[in-house]
Structure 1
């Protein structure tokens, strides 16, 4: 019989008391809401109470010890490492955007759940136990030791390329997390979006700056508990509301037929057809403007100036004058800008002119060819997410924090268990919310729309998260008149379902915990790569342990503020940013990691060539096909979306690595000995 260690028992006691205290806090806020506590103060209470909690854990866990700072002293029990890794893994994309993606895209959105869950199985089978047996600090450490070469045999070029990949992948990913922090803070505290970003950043820095991996680990365990409670309570509430069953996974099956019936009715509703016809006409108008360029741009600018002159001459109201001024100011500056803007607006109106695809329909398309394209993109995305998961530096770093290889294997099991508690609930939440909106909101009078719509519409006035307009002016809300951003759906779930506002505050705390937990791990991965792999291993090998930790902390500060600035520019939606990070990780790091473990013949030259080839192919394809990067969808290969660029980068990286390794000298005995060591039984 295996007995628990005193350290494990102490941790279990601490977190049981913490969970009980968190439950008491929720109950207290619920009572205060009943007594008339303002909503804004409820949002403040959840936001600042949880941030102060994370800050307190960071202060208590502060350390300057290298082993504690980089790998939490290698003494985190498997159960708690599983909870911390699950929190690290359940990012803003999982908590905030995944259910929204399923709401918007139906069956196709399952690619994320399948890819991310399958990817963690690859981590368990192919990489995590071997990295723990290697027993160092970072992923570049392993690649440099495995492939050797460089000055003093420290794998200089390989290490440098691995550091570069770690920084690019982690930075892309962390920008999405900080964007989510700003979204949550601005909605639930009323502060400006950019201010919200830097409020969340303060919480991130207290945990990671003071305690490194030690502080992050114990914070992430606390954050996972908040994530789980926040996600399950509103989902179970909606499950009881629509299926009289508190288990969302079972309610999912009973609500799906109801949703299908409602979707079929809305598809042929005369009012819906009327609204969609308006959008179709608008799309045709933009098409006519595009066909008449540049003359249409010139005449449009003259018309906008004339309307402004008219309202000024007839002494119109200030509101009318301001509206005409804004219209003229927003008009495209030249014909090229007009072509880009009108093309986007035509596509948006065309999309809204079509009836929504039934939620359960796989790979919907107008014909067999379009359906095949969607299926191929689904499979490509699953492939990229799986292999990207198995190469994410901030996730693989957690393999170093357990006491032994046995504990690492146990940790992977617990991580999958804790992830699935949330992931198996996400599809049910998407269906429950969709049915609630289709049955309760659609058909309501515009004069009696719920308050949450105006709240969310005002979070971002430039690019509204929710837009509802009476297109056919009948005073009744049709489905086609609703435009909702997937990133807002989960956070608005309690309000959509009519739950008390305390649950909205709880959901915000959960979303914040998901974003902060992942951001902590990503920022630490970047700063550790720079301080340990660049500064210590390549610049100053004689640096003291105190100096190494100090350098890491300073670099973490710098990276965090750069990432916050990038997030404040709102570069893309959360899922797009995260998808790009996974394709980059899969293309650049996965071939070198897996071949480094399972193929002794892989060598220094092959690793360099393979990592470079995978990265170049992936980035080229993204830039070549992504409109916001200057590319065009017309340049797609086999109609694969840019988010799945890894489908080309991974084979390129593997093929080049194999060919170059076979054409050059085999690795030395040191590399063979390392492979034998990490693959030997414990």
Structure 2
């Protein structure tokens, strides 16, 4: 076992031991504790848990890699995900928390009808399952490289560990585990970033210092056949940049596994403070990611430019064993680099390895490499657990309890939820072994689906009293169907052939079109059909305005 593998194993075993201990001590036996942690999570802890839930393997493992190869255009992930969180925290979360239900399907069920609840529950399962596939693959990549095993076995190990602590204690267990996971992942992300910034620029603040190397990075990129790093719209059309950013933003605001976090605090005020703390914790990583992308891209290109293929750095050999880095066997030296296997470059590097490989590329010591591996696993596991809980609650509460067994007790509903979670883990594990795209792209597909289904139903449900059940149901079905159909059309999944993008719209950006379709169909159908009952409109009023503001004046002239 190499020194890197030894340190990796040490950090992973220690961190996993902490997670399992927390899960055991936080185990629950009632549905309120399982789904919303008994509404008893302190605001700062809830903010850290939201941050961990938010910053998945896509944020930790893949985002900086996409920024490294997309350059300026990679900012879509930063703008979309961060802007979406602000939109969720300010526009939707306080109202949903005031409604006081466990799940998003429960909100739309109360607001519209049982039919809409069922549609929303099905959408929650589809969105969460797509999202969790990316997390499983991210965990497999970590185990594959640092424990020297096949990616398939790495995915299986990650799935088994997630199953134990997520199924055991539900939201209460997951929340406190995610606090620990956030601590691990942010330390693992910042330490190498600060170290590399100090070595390369003499300024140990990566958010400030990475601008110093951009001119040199542009020159290297051109020499190796890549687009100029700082040029806008070089990898995607301008319209697609807008569509992807918007899809990520409004998809974020509709993600069920994040929204449910705002139900776990004691009060609505606590929910708002949780949003503030979460934004702070998220910003620590998201403001660092562009620097990590730039530093790693520079070190990668500088280390291989013109190098003979038989004299490449050790990190290339280490990652070639995983199949995520390949060298053209016909090349004598590295004169071109790409992240696209079809490009035929001398060196092909998978987006998803850049953050994990950055300490090796920069020549940092083995303990730092092992710490980054543990951070990557923490990011993948934290989000996967929250997603699996959404699947569990949708199946056990919104399908089983609401549609089939209204007299089911807590024990029976918990058993069904845990069985659903186990089934989802098995299916996601199989899909995670051979995902349709890079980790961050798979996650972006989930955001697009959330944008096309949940966001319009929630926004119109809160802010437009005229919106009715048949309109919401029609809109959700239309938006989600369009989005999924286009993704299947443009991606090579389920044995289907991938097709060209229509009008330059990528599968990551189609969620915006799906959301617009949802809005148009919902409004049109609602206008053409009967308005909701007075009881429903009064419920909408009750979450939008304080009681004192709605009280009728009394006395003369009242």
Query: Aligning the two structures, in what range does the TM-score lie when normalised by the shorter sequence?
Result: over 0.9
Any conservation in 2 of the 1:445–1:477 contact (CA below 8 Å)?
Answer: no
Alignment of 1:61-460 (within 5 A): 61-147=26-112, 155-264=113-222, 266=223, 355-364=225-234, 374-459=237-322
Count of aligned residue pairs for this structure pair: 539
Any conservation in 1 of the 2:474–2:522 contact (CA below 8 Å)?
Answer: yes
Structure 1 match to 2:352: 487
Alpha-carbon offset, residue 631 of structure 1 = 5.5
Give the Cα–Cα distance (whole angstroms) in 2 for the partners of residues 498 and 188 of structure 1: 16
Q: Which segment drifts farther, 44-53 or 663-672?
A: 44-53
Residues 139 and 478 of structure 1, relative CA distance in 2, 3 Å threshold:
closer
Give the Cα–Cα distance (whole angstroms) in 2 for the partners of residues 468 and 533 of structure 1: 50
Residues 368-403 of structure 1 show CA distances to partners (whole Å, capped at 9, x for unaligned) of: xxxxx6111111100100010011110111011011
Alpha-carbon offset, residue 127 of structure 1 = 1.0
Counterpart selection for 1:466 from 319, 325, 341: 325
Alpha-carbon offset, residue 646 of structure 1 = 1.2
Structure 2 match to 1:287: none
Any conservation in 2 of the 1:470–1:477 contact (CA below 8 Å)?
Answer: no
Residues 17-61 of structure 1 show CA distances to partners (whole Å, capped at 9, x for unaligned) of: xxxxxxxxxxxxxxxxxxx97333222212222222211111111
Residues 607-655 of structure 1 show CA distances to partners (whole Å, capped at 9, x for unaligned) of: 1111111112212222333355646544x44221122111221111001
Query: Helix, strand or coil: the match of 2:326?
Result: strand
Give the Cα–Cα distance (whole angstroms) in 2 for the partners of residues 476 and 658 of structure 1: 56
Give the Cα–Cα distance (whole angstroms) in 2 for the partners of residues 571 and 658 of structure 1: 34
Alpha-carbon offset, residue 444 of structure 1 = 3.3
Any conservation in 1 of the 2:475–2:517 contact (CA below 8 Å)?
Answer: yes
Residues 660 and 478 of structure 1, relative CA distance in 2, 3 Å threshold:
closer
Structure 2 match to 1:290: none
Alpha-carbon offset, residue 471 of structure 1 = 4.3
Any conservation in 1 of the 2:452–2:511 contact (CA below 8 Å)?
Answer: yes
Alpha-carbon offset, residue 202 of structure 1 = 2.2
Give the Cα–Cα distance (whole angstroms) in 2 for the partners of residues 470 and 622 of structure 1: 34
Q: Does 1:57 align with 2:16?
A: no
Structure 2 match to 1:626: 491
Query: Helix, strand or coil: the match of 1:492?
Result: helix
Counterpart selection for 1:583 from 448, 452, 463: 448
Alpha-carbon offset, residue 441 of structure 1 = 2.9
Give the Cα–Cα distance (whole angstroms) in 2 for the partners of residues 380 and 478 of structure 1: 30
Any conservation in 2 of the 1:59–1:206 contact (CA below 8 Å)?
Answer: no
Any conservation in 1 of the 2:309–2:327 contact (CA below 8 Å)?
Answer: no
Give the Cα–Cα distance (whole angstroms) in 1 for the partners of residues 275 and 415 of structure 2: 31
Counterpart selection for 1:546 from 411, 431, 440: 411
Give the Cα–Cα distance (whole angstroms) in 2 for the partners of residues 157 and 631 of structure 1: 34
Residues 449-476 of structure 1 show CA distances to partners (whole Å, capped at 9, x for unaligned) of: 22221111111xxxx2111236453x56
Give the Cα–Cα distance (whole angstroms) in 2 for the partners of residues 447 and 159 of structure 1: 60
Any conservation in 2 of the 1:64–1:546 contact (CA below 8 Å)?
Answer: yes
Q: Does 1:645 align with 2:504?
A: no
Alpha-carbon offset, residue 551 of structure 1 = 1.7
Query: Helix, strand or coil: the match of 1:638?
Result: helix
Q: Which segment drifts farther, 639-648 or 524-533?
A: 639-648
Give the Cα–Cα distance (whole angstroms) in 1 for the partners of residues 209 and 254 of structure 2: 35
Residues 610 and 478 of structure 1, relative CA distance in 2, 3 Å threshold:
closer
Residues 108 and 532 of structure 1, relative CA distance in 2, 3 Å threshold:
same
Any conservation in 1 of the 2:436–2:493 contact (CA below 8 Å)?
Answer: no
Any conservation in 1 of the 2:5–2:370 contact (CA below 8 Å)?
Answer: no
Query: Helix, strand or coil: the match of 1:589?
Result: helix
Query: Helix, strand or coil: the match of 2:306?
Result: coil
Query: Helix, strand or coil: the match of 2:122?
Result: helix
Give the Cα–Cα distance (whole angstroms) in 1 for the partners of residues 328 and 499 of structure 2: 30
Any conservation in 2 of the 1:172–1:580 contact (CA below 8 Å)?
Answer: yes
Query: Helix, strand or coil: the match of 2:237?
Result: helix
Any conservation in 2 of the 1:610–1:656 contact (CA below 8 Å)?
Answer: yes
TM (norm. structure 2) is 0.93
Residues 550 and 432 of structure 1, relative CA distance in 2, 3 Å threshold:
same
Residues 631 and 198 of structure 1, relative CA distance in 2, 3 Å threshold:
closer
Query: Helix, strand or coil: the match of 1:467?
Result: strand
Give the Cα–Cα distance (whole angstroms) in 2 for the partners of residues 69 and 356 of structure 1: 49
Residues 202 and 663 of structure 1, relative CA distance in 2, 3 Å threshold:
same
Residues 77-136 of structure 1 show CA distances to partners (whole Å, capped at 9, x for unaligned) of: 211111100100101111111011011111111101100001011101221111110111
Residues 177 and 670 of structure 1, relative CA distance in 2, 3 Å threshold:
same
Consecutive unaligned residues in structure 1, runs of 5 or more: 1-35, 148-154, 268-354, 366-372
Give the Cα–Cα distance (whole angstroms) in 2 for the partners of residues 572 and 249 of structure 1: 29
Any conservation in 2 of the 1:180–1:574 contact (CA below 8 Å)?
Answer: yes
Alpha-carbon offset, residue 676 of structure 1 = 1.4
Residues 618 and 37 of structure 1, relative CA distance in 2, 3 Å threshold:
closer
Any conservation in 1 of the 2:303–2:313 contact (CA below 8 Å)?
Answer: no
Residues 562 and 662 of structure 1, relative CA distance in 2, 3 Å threshold:
same
Consecutive unaligned residues in structure 2, runs of 5 or more: 338-344, 548-558
Alpha-carbon offset, residue 672 of structure 1 = 1.3
Query: Helix, strand or coil: the match of 2:348?
Result: strand
